C-alpha cells in the first residue's frame, strides 16, 4: 500500500514485498513527539509511514523554524551516520506510524534491492530540491503567495502518495506551526489565511486543506511543480 512511495524507480514485486516487510515493524507515535532530537548520535534510522512530521530548529530566544515537512515514505535521518549527530530535530505534527530500524538493515536492503536504493535516492534528491524551493519561496514571494505556494506543493506531494481525496487533503498543523514553516508570525499567518479564504482560493478547516480551483491557485502562487520532478517519476 505505502510501497508506491518510491516514485523514482520501477519496483518489482520482490521490491515491494521487501518494503512491506520493513513497514511491518511500524510503531505508533502520538502527535508532537520528537522522533529524534538535535545532537543525538544514533545508529538507528527512522521512517514515517503514516501521519506527518517536521524537521525543525529552535533558536536561543525560543523561536522555531520548520525547515521541512516529512510525508509518509520519507526518512528522518537516513544519513546521520555519516555526519555523526543530528544538527536539527524531527517531531511529529500528528499521530503517526513510524518504522525504527538499524542503519545496517537499511544498508543491506539497499545492497540487495538496487531499485529500492534508487527510489530512496530519488526521494532524497527531491527533498533537496524542495528545500531549495522553500528558500526561493521565503526570499522572493510575499506571504500570501508564499503560503499559497506551500499549499500547492503539499497538494502535489500528497497526490503523489494517493493522499488527496475529495479534492483536498489532511494537513493537521496549527496556525503557529504554519507560521513557523513560512517564517512569519502566527498573527500574520492568520491574516494571510483570511485573505486567501475571502478570495475563495483555499479552505483550511479542521486540519484539512481544500483547493476549489487548483489551476487558479497555482497561477496565484506562481507555482511551477517542475522541481518536484513528477514527470520523471511517472514515466520511470
Partner DNA sequence: CGTTGGTTTGAGGAAACTCAAAACCGGTGG
Partner DNA sequence: CCACCGGTTTTGAGTTTCCTCAAACCAACG
The reply on whether position 79 binds a second copy by CB under 8 A is yes
Q: Which of 105, 108, 99 is nearest to 70 (CA)?
A: 99
Distance (Å, whole) CA 100 – CA 103: 10
Stretch that binds a second copy, among 15-23, 155-163, 207-215, 228-236 (CB under 8 A): 228-236
Strand partners, 203: 210
Cβ within 8 Å of residue 233, ≥6 positions away: 7, 8, 122, 160
Per CB under 8 A, which of residues 131..160 are in contact with a second copy?
131-136, 138-140
- Note whether 46 and 75 are within 8 A (CB): yes
Binding of DNA by 224 (CB under 7 A):
no
Binding window for a second copy (CB under 8 A); candidates: 61-69, 99-107, 158-166, 203-211: 61-69
Segment interacting with DNA (CB under 7 A) among 52-60, 120-128, 192-200, 209-217: 192-200
- The DSSP 8-state label assigned to residue 44 in this structure reads E
Alpha helix segments (H runs only) across 24-174: 80-83, 103-112, 114-140, 143-160
What does the binding site for a second copy look like in residue numbers (CB under 8 A)? 8, 55, 57, 59-60, 63-65, 67-68, 79, 82-85, 87-88, 118, 121-122, 125-126, 128-129, 131-136, 138-140, 180, 182-184, 222, 226-227, 229, 231-232
Amino acid at each position: 500500500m505505502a510501497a508506491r512511495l518510491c516514485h523514482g524507480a520501477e519496483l518489482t514485486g520482490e521490491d515491494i514485498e521487501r518494503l512491506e516487510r520493513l513497514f511491518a515493524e511500524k510503531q505508533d507515535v502520538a502527535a508532537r513527539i520528537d522522533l529524534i532530537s538535535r545532537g543525538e548520535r544514533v545508529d538507528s534510522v527512522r521512517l514515517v509511514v503514516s501521519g506527518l512530521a517536521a524537521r525543525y530548529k529552535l533558536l536561543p530566544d525560543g523561536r522555531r523554524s520548520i525547515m521541512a515537512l516529512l510525508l509518509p515514505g520519507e526518512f528522518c535521518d537516513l544519513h546521520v551516520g555519516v555526519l555523526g549527530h543530528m544538527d536539527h530535530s524531527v517531531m511529529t505534527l500528528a499521530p503517526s506510524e513510524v518504522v525504527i530500524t538499524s542503519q545496517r538493515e537499511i544498508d543491506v536492503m539497499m545492497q540487495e534491492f538496487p531499485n529500492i536504493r534508487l527510489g530512496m535516492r530519488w526521494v532524497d534528491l527531491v527533498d533537496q530540491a524542495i528545500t531549495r524551493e522553500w528558500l526561493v519561496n521565503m526570499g522572493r514571494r510575499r506571504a500570501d503567495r508564499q503560503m499559497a505556494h506551500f499549499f500547492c506543493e503539499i497538494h502535489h506531494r500528497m497526490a503523489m502518495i494517493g493522499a488527496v481525496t475529495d479534492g483536498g487533503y489532511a494537513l493537521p498543523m496549527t496556525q503557529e506551526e504554519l507560521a513557523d514553516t513560512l517564517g512569519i508570525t502566527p498573527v500574520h499567518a492568520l491574516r494571510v489565511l483570511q485573505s486567501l479564504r475571502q478570495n475563495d482560493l483555499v479552505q483550511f478547516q479542521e486540519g484539512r486543506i481544500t483547493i476549489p480551483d487548483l489551476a487558479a491557485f497555482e497561477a496565484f502562487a506562481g507555482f511551477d511543480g517542475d522541481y518536484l520532478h513528477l514527470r520523471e517519476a511517472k514515466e520511470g
